[in-house]
Structure 1
Amino acid sequence: MKEMLIKYSGHFLAPEKPVQSNGMYSSVQEQVYEKLRDSILGGVLEPDQRLNIEELAPGMAVDRVHVREALLRLEAESLVKYHSYKGFTVASFTLDDLREIYFLRSLLEGEACRLAAEHLSEEELNKLEDVCRKMEECLENDHLNEMPGYNTVLHETIYTAAKSPRLFKMIVRLWNGFPKSSIGFLTLRAPIMVREHRAMYEALRSRNAEEARLRAQEHIASVLNDLLEYWGERLTSSEE
C-alpha cells in the first residue's frame, strides 16, 4: 500500500503507516504519537511551531482527544511545550540542552559499549564489521543518504548487546531528546564518523571493554564539538 503523507500548516508530516506492537497494530493514539514524534525529530515540524489540535485532528482523521494525549506524552519527553496563552508548540533547544544531552549520552553509551564488549556474539561482531564496511563504501561512492540508517543499526546492535534493557531505554530517550542531524551536517562529518565507528568496532572485536568505552566517549565528544560549531549560529545559550 502506498504511504500517505499528512499535510499540516504547509508541511507534510511523517508517512502514515501502522505502528506495530507484539504483532498487533497499536492504538490510534499510539499511531498519532509516533507520527508527530517522527515529524518533530525529523525536522518536518520546526522548533517553536504551533501545534493546533483543531487543525491536526481533522488532517490526521482522528479525534482531538487522541492528538491531545499524544502531545501530552511528547511534552513529558521535552519534545513539545505547553503555553497557557497559545497551547502546544514544538520545543526549541539551546546550546546548554545540547551539552547536557551529549554529556549524559557519553556516560551511558560509554558504559553500554563497555558491557557490549563482554557480551557481543560472533554473529553480532560480524554484523558490526559488515555495517562498518558498508558505511565506508557509502563514503567512497558518495551515497551519504544511506549512512544514517547504517549508523542507527551499528549503535542499536552495540547497545542491545549490553544486555541492559533499562540502559538501552535511557539511551534511546536521549537520542530522541534532540532533532536528528541534517544531511548537511552528516555530509560534513561522514569521514570522521566512519573512522570513529571503525575504531569502536576494533575495540569491541578485541574484547577490550575499557578501550571500547573510551572510543565510544571520544566519538560522542567529537560529535558534540562539531554540533556546537554547526548549530552555534542557530541556537543560543539559556543564559542569554
Structure 2
Amino acid sequence: MTTMQKLTLKSLADLAYDRLDGAILSGELAPGAQVSEAELAIRLGISRGPLREALSRLEGRKLVKRIRQQGVVIIDLTDREIHDILQMREVMEGFACRLAAQNMTDAQLKDLDDCIETRILAHANTPARSDLHYRIAENCGNEYLRDLLCLDLYYRLRLYRARTGQIPDHYEGAIEEHRQIVRALQQRDADLAESLMRRHVARARERLDLDLLRKPQ
C-alpha cells in the first residue's frame, strides 16, 4: 500500500486528507465503495479526531459522503454530471486561458512547462498545484473565476480525468494539446490560447458522449 501508508508526522488531519484524496484519485478507494471510519483509522494509523476532520474536508469537496451509522461512501460521478461539468469548463477555462495570456507573469508562464513534465511523470495523479488547468485558473487574474475552477469543480473533475487518463490515446492526445496551449500562452496569444483550451475541453466531452453511445442499453 503506497498511498494510504500510516501517518506519523504532526499535522495528521492534513496528511490524512492528502492520503485519502490520493487514494480516491488513484482508485485505491473506488467510486461507490463504502468503508467505515474505524477501518480508515486503522489503515492510516491515526485516531478518529484527525480522520473526521479530513473526511469533513473531503465531504466539502463532494468527494465522499458520510452516512450515519454506515460509514463513508466514495462519490461516483454519473455520466450526466461529468457531461455538465465539462460543458461549464469549456466556457470558463477558455476564458481563464484568455485572461492568463494577458495577466500571468513571464516567470509563471515559463513554469507551465514544468506542469507538463510533472503530468508525464505522475500520469493521472498530478498534484493540484502542478496541474496545468489548476495553475492557469489560479493565476488568471480573476479571483471569482479562480475560485469557481479551483475548488469543487476542479476536484470533482479530477475523478473523471483519472479514469480517462489511463487510456493511452486519451492521455497522449491530452499531453500534446497541453503543449499547444502552453505555447500559445507563452506567446501571449490570448485568442489562440482560449480557442485551444475550449477545443481541448470540448474533445473530452465528445469522448464522453461517444463512450455513452457505445454503452449497452
What SS class does the counterpart of residue 81 from structure 1 fall into?
strand
Q: For the structure 1 residues 155 and 48, does the alpha-carbon distance in structure 2 shift closer, same or farther, using more than 3 Å as the test?
A: closer
Whether the 8 Å contact between 2:13 and 2:51 is mirrored in structure 1 is yes
Runs of 4 or more above 6 Å deviation: 231-234
Partners in 2 of 1:102 and 1:81 — Cα distance? 22
Is 2:136 the partner of 1:158? Answer: yes
Structure 1: stretches of 5+ with no match in the other structure:
6-11, 19-24, 139-143
Q: Return the match for 1:213 from 175, 189, 194.
A: 194
Q: How does 1:1-240 map onto structure 2 within 5 Å?
A: 5=1, 13-15=3-5, 27-84=11-68, 86-128=70-112, 148=124, 149=126, 152-173=130-151, 174-178=153-157, 179=159, 180-181=162-163, 184-185=166-167, 187-230=168-211
What SS class does the counterpart of residue 184 from structure 1 fall into?
coil
Q: For the structure 1 residues 216 and 85, does the alpha-carbon distance in structure 2 shift closer, same or farther, using more than 3 Å as the test?
A: same
RMSD: 3.5
Cα deviation for residue 177 of structure 1 reads 0.4
Structure 2: stretches of 5+ with no match in the other structure:
none
What SS class does the counterpart of residue 177 from structure 1 fall into?
helix
C-alpha offsets along residues 59-103 of structure 1, whole Å, 9 cap, x if unaligned?
322211322232232222211123346232111111011112212
> Normalising by structure 2, what TM-score?
0.77
Bigger radius of gyration among the two? 1
Aligned-residue sequence identity (percent) comes to 25
Whether the 8 Å contact between 2:5 and 2:43 is mirrored in structure 1 is no
C-alpha offsets along residues 119-167 of structure 1, whole Å, 9 cap, x if unaligned?
23333444446766x69xx9xxxxx655555994533443343133453
What SS class does the counterpart of residue 88 from structure 1 fall into?
strand
Whether the 8 Å contact between 1:145 and 1:183 is mirrored in structure 2 is no
Q: For the structure 1 residues 190 and 69, does the alpha-carbon distance in structure 2 shift closer, same or farther, using more than 3 Å as the test?
A: closer
Partners in 2 of 1:87 and 1:58 — Cα distance? 14
Partners in 1 of 2:115 and 2:36 — Cα distance? 41
Q: Which has the higher helix share?
A: 2
State how many pairs are aligned: 211
